Structure 1
């Protein structure tokens, strides 16, 4: 049974849609937030007893500049920066109102906004990053230049000076970040993870110990006294493509349906979860059945974050 939330006295949730694709090359991921809401997510949360408000941010594409050259290897830096800086303020304001912040992406560069916004309200929070990828490349190490693979380097303060991202503050400490589900990690990212001492549980660890023990160990590392706010950032590509096929960078061998949901359920049970991101749902990829399946999973993950349980 989910505990009362220590940080959120009232059952109020703000769903923030971020229909944004600027951090990676695939179109379609900007459709994810609206499709999740059209599937009935807001109504589902209301039926669970939550007071829901929804901000669609449908005009984000209007922020795309006419000229957005590559700067320090990063693609579309002006667009990514302007959108994430705007949304970060929005998220901070909702967190300050003691609302659970449920952000629907969009690509994972949106984490520049979610983590900045949440940690500006909860500076001692910890971040659980559930993803096939580490997303901690710097402008100096990225091969692709896609910013959805770089947000954590900026948030950790290791990206160096980039003229478009001076607004991003190093709000995240390495001992407050833990990965679950990694299985596609660049060599440069492995080096960063080891050098900073970031706790990371790959799919090897999930296989070895089981998801229950992995979640417990993750919390022991970043929230040992179970008294700090928790922010979950969940990229659906952490799930095996057989579970969530409609995503831009699928990697075989991921979390099962139950393992993904267990993470959300267990974090909700702590009574400490204050924010969750559901990222990288791309309805333009795969066939209609695969899209429906991925959207259905995205909604059920969100419901689990807000207290839905099997019994």
Structure 2
């Protein structure tokens, strides 16, 4: 069952590979996109009636500078900036060609590219961020220095002082951002979320209200008339490690298999979804069996975003 999309008239999906691990310390996450494609994701989406093109972007490593010291607490700032700037241009171009953009990560620093690119094409879009982590640390506040924990601070304009990310425009208003599945949030981030009145639903809220009501609450806040484009950025670590074990920063007590899929299904049903990121699948972590189940769930989440449903 496919739903009429209110913004995209074509049946074209542009899969953008973002095989990049520079936003965090663990190698392997750069192999996530290829594993999802090798598992047959393109064919699965074609079977749902879409025309799919895939850009692997295997050459991102060539953008790595010879010298990239820690600056303003951030690790690999020049590398992360160069890669995300390149991908942002590509994603913007595909979105403006009236294609649905599905970005496969890579670590979540790649959201600097996806949100920049999609919001350049759809300036009034809103963002649903499904993640165990809020990823809204400022360079001053980050304890780890890993940029995958910081993209939303740049995209919302809360961070503006880092010269390597001067190209990132504050395209995302805090009133257009909502979170589902949070369970590992730094103190400084908690303050940012409260001070900016950002709709942030943790696993406590999912337990209290159920996933259906949580999705409705987020949409009521960021898209009250259900007339704005929706960008979904889904970090597989939002899922419980029993569901998606092969990810860099797993935290117990996450979304169940069905809760994760419900989010994708219900957003597909709105007919407003224009872009999806599936992030942080890391085939180098855990056993081959764990990798298989994580890749399988990544593909399955993507299919739900394109209208695959239980009945």
* CA distance, structure 2, for counterparts of residue 62 and residue 46 of structure 1: 31
1:26 aligns with 2:26: yes
State the match for 1:222 in structure 2.
222
* CA distance, structure 1, for counterparts of residue 81 and residue 51 of structure 2: 31
1:17 aligns with 2:14: no
State the match for 1:308 in structure 2.
308
2:247/2:282 contact within 8 Å kept: yes
2:230/2:274 contact within 8 Å kept: yes
State the match for 2:176 in structure 1.
176
State the match for 2:151 in structure 1.
151
2:160/2:166 contact within 8 Å kept: no
- Residue ranges of structure 2 left out of the alignment (5+ in a row): none
Deviates more, 1:1-10 or 1:30-39: 1-10
**How far 1:2 moved relative to its partner?**
4.3
**How far 1:243 moved relative to its partner?**
0.1
State the match for 2:46 in structure 1.
46
1:135/1:149 contact within 8 Å kept: yes
**How far 1:160 moved relative to its partner?**
2.7
**Counterparts of 1:132-281 in structure 2 under 5 Å?**
132-281=132-281
* CA distance, structure 1, for counterparts of residue 268 and residue 160 of structure 2: 35
Task: Give a deviation string over 1:86-115, Cα, whole Å, max 9, x none.
Answer: 000000000000100000000000000000
**How far 1:7 moved relative to its partner?**
0.4
State the match for 1:129 in structure 2.
129
1:2/1:270 contact within 8 Å kept: no
**How far 1:62 moved relative to its partner?**
1.1
CA RMSD, aligned part only? 0.6
Task: Give a deviation string over 1:229-277, Cα, whole Å, max 9, x none.
Answer: 0000000000000000000000000000000000000000000000000
* CA distance, structure 2, for counterparts of residue 107 and residue 42 of structure 1: 21
* CA distance, structure 2, for counterparts of residue 206 and residue 151 of structure 1: 24
* CA distance, structure 1, for counterparts of residue 3 and residue 228 of structure 2: 15
Aligned length: 311
**How far 1:66 moved relative to its partner?**
1.2
* CA distance, structure 1, for counterparts of residue 46 and residue 288 of structure 2: 27
Deviates more, 1:225-234 or 1:153-162: 153-162
2:127/2:230 contact within 8 Å kept: yes
2:45/2:303 contact within 8 Å kept: yes
- Residue ranges of structure 1 left out of the alignment (5+ in a row): none
2:23/2:146 contact within 8 Å kept: yes
